[in-house]
Structure 1
Amino acid sequence: MPGLCTVPKVNPSANAPGPPGESRRHRVRDAVLWLVFVAVGVLWYRDAHDSSLWLDLVLPVTVLAVAVPVSRRAPVVALGLATLVTALGLSHPVSPATPYVLALAAMSYLLGARSADHRRALVAIAACVAFALVLCALLRVSILAWFFMTAVLPVALVLPWLVGRYRRAQRELVRGGWERAESLEARQREAEEQARLRERTRIAADMHDSLGHALSLIALRAGALQVSPALTPEDRAKARELRAAASDAVEHLRQTISVLRDGAEPDSGVPADETVEALVDRARASAVEVELRRVGEVPELAAQVDRAVYRIVQEGLTNATKHAPGAPVTVEIIHSPDAPGETTVRVVNAAPAEGPLTGLVPGNHGLVGLRERVDLVGGALRAGAHAGGFELVATLPNQPVFPSQKAGDARGRALPSESTRQLARARRRVQLRFVLAFAAPVVTGGVMAVSAVFFAYQMLTCVLRPADYEAVGVGQERAEFAAVLPAQQFRYVRQDMRSAPAPTGSACEYYRSNGNPFEEVDVYRLCFVDSRLVAKDVLSAGSPDRSPR
């Protein structure tokens, strides 16, 4: 109906290419939906009277075969096609109620779920109802058809559209929430990355101090060698060149580190060669109750590892004084012979006076930078609540290992983000709640549907057509007309009908004269004696008296 329902504006997101295989899934879903419509139409056509194969089955399912896939890009057009199919019921000689109201409701739901323009959708629904009413007036249909079009049709259009619109809003709400969560997660990752970069800058500064000190010693020794009287003029020239090269290296290193320091945090004023013992002494001088324990023989540590040990103790003391002021702190540096080549640093503070700590402090990027420093030398860091206080434990190799910085699993594949994992868990919870909330009603409705189908089956398989009843004559053997008798007898005969007089010694069978299960109809009674028909009667639905034939 091009004049009835216009094509809506195309949603760019709806036409965007989806993931591989999504198009195939759409085709499968459309095919299943169309097959449901076909099955309903076939079942209705089998039991309908005075129905046309082409008008009541072939034409509707053909139109719906076009409407179902069209509903993805132009749901308003699909709704118009479904309205046209439903309006074909007006021409039915028995009843305007057709099974294709289900297709109309489905297209209305898809309109609400796939179209964001609610004004255009409401105009389309109103146009479809107006079209049906105009068609009723032109065809001069019965009162029953008017009731169907004014009551059933608007309900089948409006309610499913509201449900589809709610479903669309729910999807958009969930999608917007998770997009915000991913944005916040990206900001958090950016902040952590900045903390790592700052820590790397500090590491570079530490290396400048240690390496610059070593190069300065080389230059000093070269200068002493230059003035040695035991050297020849040629050797003194080489020593002079060595001293100049060492001095140039120190200057180049200073310039490089100055570039890295640009925009970084200001220097704390702490000497680069300060030891852990000196750090602990400074903390004690600041009224911090701290105990330092060294276990095992101190091995030779690489400069990066030694500086990492210092930074771990420094960060542990900083966190303790910041989040648990007044609580005693224990610092342990363990060089265990059971784990040669490793050094364990443990900083533990007791519970503060205000109560036990709950874990990591949000936004504490000091631990992020510290973890970066530990990772760079191939170590492992663990931080968390411990006995009401807080514990910081790091295991470091005595010589740096330089592990790979690529994040992923054992096979090198990228690990899913935290928001992705949370979204998967949320979806599972929603699905579980949906099942729990709707399981009981669905089961109850299923039982009622099965009962209704069984009842309808019994009503429709006990109908003896009036023409077949007229063709049966008294005195015939049952075998002569057994082919026209229904598959089963009518089981729900009223008691007054069963009590109607019957020939003595006969066995009577009862059959319905009409397949409508929702109204009282005449009942045909056939009475047999030794498989010979001795009487046939029409038991009227309006009166218990029989009408012998």
Structure 2
Amino acid sequence: MEDRRRTLLVELSLWGALAVPVLAVEWLHLHEPDSTWQQLTGIAALGAATALHHRLPATAFLLAAAPGLAVASSLFTLSYGGALAVFAYLMGLRSPAVRPSLLAFGALAVAGTVKISVRQVDPAAEWLVLMGTLLFGAVFPWLIGRYWRQSGELTAAGWARAEQLEREHRIVADRARLRERARIAQDMHDSLGHELSLIALRAGALQVAPGLADQHRDAAADLRSAASDATDRLHGIIGLLREEDDEQAPLAPPGETVAELVERAAESGLPVHLVSAPGTDDNPRTEDRTVYRVVQEALTNAAKYAPGAPVTVEARQDATATATTVIVTNARPADAPAAPSGSGTGLLGLRARITALGGSFDAGPHDGGFQVTARLPAPGAPLGGTPVDVDAGFGHARRTARRRVGLAFGAAAVAGTVLIGGAFTWYAYTKTHAVLTPQAYAQLRVGAPLADVESRLPERTISDPPVERAPTPPPAHADCRYYRASGELFVSVEHFRLCFADDTAHTLVDKAVIPKAGTADQVKEEEREWAR
């Protein structure tokens, strides 16, 4: 309610401010508008425009321009010039689309052109004034309004972008915590699962050892079964904690190397052998935790699903030292039972981790056994893809908006320069081609027909003669023509009035000299006017 009251107060203040020039010109005796009803109609139109400029800015602009067009076909008025500029600015500020504004400008230009064409004035000069008024009194303020609107939209978009980044930052922090949980789960799976598998492997070896009493053999079998059950329960828990599609958080290197891992597995009874490619050391890239995890998971699966089968671990670098390939292969023992179905969590986690690092992972049957192959890029090796600039879209929108505003102002400036140049050119042409020299004027005789004097007359006449300075009124029923006595521009000069009778010969019936402004004759005329 308070906002509505404030808006109403602002609109009433705007209406009052725009109505002041309409009343002031009458007090200054400028005769704009010509009558009281025109004043009241114009003020009412300004009030309607003020009420509509929020919802219908283009309509409000046309309502504000209509009284000015009624007073002057060129729109160049002191009464409504300010209102024209104000509502053009508000139209640019309020209207999101450009098309309604362009249509409003076009409608105003057409209406002014039509009115100029039916009036007895110099149409070219009036049209140039109309275009200049539209450009400087309407288009320029509209462009300023458009600029402020786009500036506000960009500012709002910037704050929205900042809020979005803050929300994304919170989401990233939450996901980091989830990744930490997944990392702990993965670490539990890899480490504890591997140790439980080795316990089951040792229990299996103890179960088949010769000379062992039956009760100890049964205890070893129970131990192996319990270790396998614990491994399965661990898989189930890890499956609840891990996120299959989540990126794994990097881990610190473990405390042992791949060679030590293989050696410890061999000591537990797993027939495993580490092979290194020629030209590399015995433990290539063992500092990489991912390589360690690949070997650890493969040995765990071999001990669990293929006990007693020989296992080969091969880790080698390629010729360019930009990648490491790890291959773990185990055969299927002839007397091994059918492998139980596992959760596959470990292999899936390895695939996700290696893919995220830009490598490749493959695991599946191989020559009756099972093989795990992983290819990992070296640290610092270039990955595929190109960096993405997250601010590119917003920056492009900002540059586009500025470029459009700059082009619009540039086009308007060029158009204004052309109009001003054209107006001055036309002004100079009309004034200099309507000059009747004093010598030619002196040779004209009252009573001479138009055909005899027409050759001495200029090609143009004055469209806006200073009739108020004429020493005598023109004869009744006469066609009077007005000419300049000098070709000087932008100064007041004397004018000649030639009046021709409305007869067949168009006889020259009167000739008079109209003094320039500020001369003694003009002063006397003004004194006589004041005396009345």
Q: TM-score range by the shorter chain?
A: 0.3 to 0.5
Larger radius of gyration: 2
| TM-score, with length taken from structure 1 | 0.35
| TM-score, with length taken from structure 2 | 0.36
Higher relative contact order (CA 8 A, sep 6+): 2
